[in-house]
Amino acid sequence: MEHRIVSFGEVLLRLTPPGYLKLSQTNTFAATFGGSETNCAVSLAHFGLKSEFVTRFPKNDIAEACLMELRSHGIKTDNIVFGGERLGLYYFENTAAQRVSKVVYDRANSSFSTLKPEMIDWKQVFQGATWFHWSGIGPGLSQDVADTCACAIDAAKKLGLTVSCDLNYRKTLWQYGKSAPEILRPLLDKCDVLFGTGSEYQVVYGVKPVPFKAKTAEEPIDLASYEAFMQQVQAEAGGNKKLFIALRNTLDATHHILTGLLYADGKLIQGRTYAIEHVVDSVGVGDAFAAGIIYGLINYPESDATALEYSIAAATLKNTIYGDFNLVTADEVKALMKQGDGAESISR
């Protein structure tokens, strides 16, 4: 079967000061496009899968530039709709040593946040598709976007697509009078695959997470505690979902420890741990992880463990790429997977 994955979400224009300047220091910004679901769609296209992105753009030159960018990565854009006032922005300040990154959003009243359910014909969008991916960011923007997500998920399930969601909880987005659990849980009930961090699962399902404090790639993980955590999440989430959790410990701006776990069919699977010793850009690492899982589950249907290994390797490589997009190929990910059977270090 030939797979086609449809991703749905908002594209943002990212403005980043050069080097390690603070936002208050600069009068120059590097402009790149990104956004969680966009990042996932781009990764999937670079992995060699048929990838389509659905969103709402304004009718202006910035949106046209974004369309050209998406198409340059081989992404199908035929079902993007137009209207509204503006493309959302975000300003990103790089990490430096012990100084953490900073994000300032400017996305109020964007074309995507004012999207309404009747603007997209999901039955048409999903013709010939096999997978639908969305994230918790969209429903956090407005009730209309949450309702649009609900329509998309219902149409996808009716047509037999696999549905995945990256929880992507952003506290500052939920400003329209509804809580994340109130909106997300009914939508997640219909999903087959979930990705998230421990804290995101806690927000949605109320289960206290297990801290990840590994300082080396060789340090053992408290698997019993994680298994208990995932069992509780599964009990709250219901159904026979595949639950993935990304684990990252930031030792400093350029030195991260990264791994992931999968809970499915009552079993916990542990993936390889990587020590990333020269992080170039950690934005979009979680999206690379999600895209890797989608690719892995499609291409390794008999081995969830291999799918997990692929996703962690893909996320690890994203740390070496500037910008939101993970511009590595499936062959590059597989090459990293083959570099030993245990914990790995990567520097670039």
**Which uninterrupted H or E stretch holds 252?**
strand 242-252
Give the confidence band of 344 by pLDDT, cuts at 50, 70, 90: very low
Best CA proximity match to 299, nearest among 48, 38, 128, 73? 48
**C-alpha dist (Å) from residue 74 to 4, 53, 141, 163, 310:** 12, 11, 28, 22, 21
Give per-residue pLDDT as tens, 245-290: 999 999 998 999 999 999 999 999 999 999 999 999 999 999 999 9
As a whole number of angstroms, the distance between CA 330 and CA 334 comes to 6
**C-alpha dist (Å) from residue 317 to 277, 327, 339:** 12, 9, 13
Give the list of residues 6+ apart from residue 296 with CB closer than 8 angstroms, or none.
306, 307, 308, 309, 310, 311
Q: Would you tell me how many other CB atoms lie within 10 Å of the CB of residue 19?
A: 9
Give per-residue pLDDT as tens, 129-168: 999 999 999 999 999 999 999 999 999 999 999 999 999 9
Q: Cα 52 vs. chain centroid, distance in angstroms?
A: 15
The per-residue pLDDT of the chain, averaged, comes to 94
Question: What pLDDT score was predicted for residue 1?
Answer: 75
Does the structural domain 4-346 have CATH classification 3.30.9.90? no
As a whole number of angstroms, the distance between CA 230 and CA 262 comes to 9
Q: Would you tell me how many other CB atoms lie within 10 Å of the CB of residue 321?
A: 18
Give per-residue pLDDT as tens, 166-180: 999 999 999 999 999
pLDDT above 90 as % of the chain: 91
Structure tokens at 340: 């030993």
Helix/strand/coil (H/E/C) assignment for every residue in 161-219: CEEEEECCCCHHHCCCCCCHHHHHHHHHCCCCEEEECHHHHHHHHCCCCCCCCCCCCCC
Question: Is the CB of residue 164 less than 8 Å from the CB of residue 137?
Answer: no
* β 12-16/30-34 pair status: antiparallel
Structure tokens at 319: 């740390």
Average pLDDT on 111-138 reads 97
Question: Is the CB of residue 84 less than 8 Å from the CB of residue 67?
Answer: no
Question: What pLDDT score was predicted for residue 340?
Answer: 60
**C-alpha dist (Å) from residue 200 to 105, 130, 245, 247, 319:** 20, 27, 10, 12, 21
Give the confidence band of 100 by pLDDT, cuts at 50, 70, 90: confident
